[in-house]
């Protein structure tokens, strides 16, 4: 029973990862000191062991983000490591998170990622650094790029980190039932389309988004790279897609996801990584 409760709580703690709320930069700096071995990391007193673990993972995570995004970070990421829940909730106002990129593009990590959720740290670090990378080029969680793409790309970078609590079976069952991301729907400031807009729970939403990004990468890797670089240079999301792929985004994704969801029994498959343009997926 305790194990089930712990898993349920961890599942809840996944919700969201980028928050528009956050204190001013000078407030964020209070109570933190630089980690001696890595100026990218600042830590609360008592978080030395946590910072050491982040330091050990950080170069690989940065390289993974840059490899998938196709461009380097414009500046070193700024990571704040909390030793206490009080520290984390002071910086991250949205409840229920274990990590967040706040409005001035700083990544804040909860002590939960060094305790009960320690196994998730590598994936969550890479996931959040994807948001930091886009934030450096386009501004914090750019509303001109759909939420599904922000989260799907970050989860692809993290090789599933952030989408651990939904299975492929749940994802494709939701798709067959009509609870699916509408890839035609535009996000703009003040109108962001998140999981509830599509009748999905947050876990199904993250996994559908991840599957969509992986399908686009597999369908035409060169076009995906061109599209993603164009987005990071400020191009319109849908126009840049049409230029890179010479087709409509929603038409392509709906066709591919229909094929998988309707023609494949996903119960025996896990993960949304696709080895090529053919329908199918492999265990990650």
With the CA atoms of 239, 242, 126 and 185 taken in that order, what torsion angle do they form, in degrees rounded to the nearest 10?
Answer: 60
Looking at residue 10, what is its pLDDT?
38
Query: What mean pLDDT do residues 114-140 have?
Result: 97
**Length of the chain (residues):** 284
pLDDT tens, position by position, 22-62: 444 445 568 999 999 999 999 999 999 999 999 999 999 99
CB-based contacts of 234-237 (< 8 A; 24+ apart in sequence): 234/138, 236/144, 237/144, 237/145, 237/146, 237/149
Q: What is the pLDDT of residue 272?
A: 63
SS3 269: coil
The DSSP 8-state label assigned to residue 120 in this structure reads G
Q: What is the pLDDT of residue 195?
A: 97
Alpha-helix residue ranges (DSSP H) falling in 117-248: 121-138, 147-157, 168-176, 202-219, 221-232, 237-245
Higher pLDDT, 2 or 82: 82
Sheet containing strand 107-109, strands side by side: 32-35, 38-44, 79-81, 107-109, 99-101
Binning pLDDT at 50, 70 and 90, where does residue 18 land?
low
Residue 273 has pLDDT above 60, yes or no: no
Measure CA 129 to chain center: 8
Mean pLDDT score across all residues of the chain: 87
- On whether the CB atoms of residues 180 and 198 are closer than 8 A, the answer is yes
Domain parsing of the chain, residue ranges? 2-138, 147-268
149-174 pLDDT, tens per residue? 999 999 999 999 999 999 998 899 99
pLDDT (mean) for 185-192: 94
Structure tokens that stand for 89 in this block: 């909730």
Helix count (H) and strand count (E) of the chain?
A: 11, 5
More confident residue, 279 or 143: 143
How far from each other are the two terminal CA atoms of the chain, in whole angstroms? 28
Confidence bin at 5 (pLDDT 50/70/90): very low
Helix (H) or strand (E) holding 38: strand 38-44
Q: Please state whether 160 falls in left (phi above 0), alpha (psi between -120 and 50) or beta.
A: left
pLDDT, residue 58, reads 98
CATH assignment, 2-138? 3.30.2010.30
In terms of Cα–Cα distance, which of 151, 145, 180 is closest to 256? 180
Q: Is the pLDDT of residue 14 over 50?
A: no
What is the residue whose two structure tokens read 């100026």? Answer: 39
Give the per-residue pLDDT at 30: 82
Count CB neighbours of 221 within 10 A: 12
Q: What is the mean pLDDT of residues 214-226?
A: 98
pLDDT at 131: 98
Report d(CA 59, CA 64) in Å as an integer. 9
């Amino acid at each position: 029973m305790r194990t089930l409760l712990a898993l349920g709580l961890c599942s809840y703690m996944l919700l969201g990862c980028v928050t528009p709320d956050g204190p001013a930069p000078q407030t964020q700096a209070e109570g933190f000191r630089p980690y001696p071995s890595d100026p990218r990391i600042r830590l609360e007193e008592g978080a030395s062991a946590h910072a050491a673990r982040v330091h050990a993972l950080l170069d690989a995570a940065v390289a993974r983000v840059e490899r998938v995004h196709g461009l380097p970070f414009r500046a070193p990421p700024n990571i704040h490591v909390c030793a206490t829940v009080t520290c984390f909730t002071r910086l991250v106002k949205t409840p229920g998170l274990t990590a967040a990129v706040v409005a001035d593009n700083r990544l804040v990590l909860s002590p939960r990622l060094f305790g009960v959720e320690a196994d998730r740290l590598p994936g969550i670090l890479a996931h959040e650094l994807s948001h930091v990378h886009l934030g450096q080029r386009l501004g914090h969680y750019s509303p001109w790029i759909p939420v599904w793409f922000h989260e799907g790309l970050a989860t692809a970078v993290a090789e599933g980190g952030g989408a651990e609590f939904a299975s492929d079976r749940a994802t494709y069952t939701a798709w067959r039932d009509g609870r699916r991301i509408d890839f035609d729907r535009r996000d703009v400031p003040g109108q962001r389309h998140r999981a509830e807009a599509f009748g999905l729970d947050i876990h199904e939403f993250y996994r559908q988004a991840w599957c969509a990004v992986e399908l686009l990468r597999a369908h035409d890797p060169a076009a995906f790279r061109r599209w993603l670089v164009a987005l990071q240079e400020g191009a319109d999301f849908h126009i840049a897609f049409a230029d890179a792929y010479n087709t409509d985004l929603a038409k392509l994704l709906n066709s591919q996801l229909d094929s998988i969801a309707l023609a494949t029994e996903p119960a025996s498959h896990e993960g949304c990584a696709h080895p090529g343009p053919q329908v199918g997926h492999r265990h990650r």
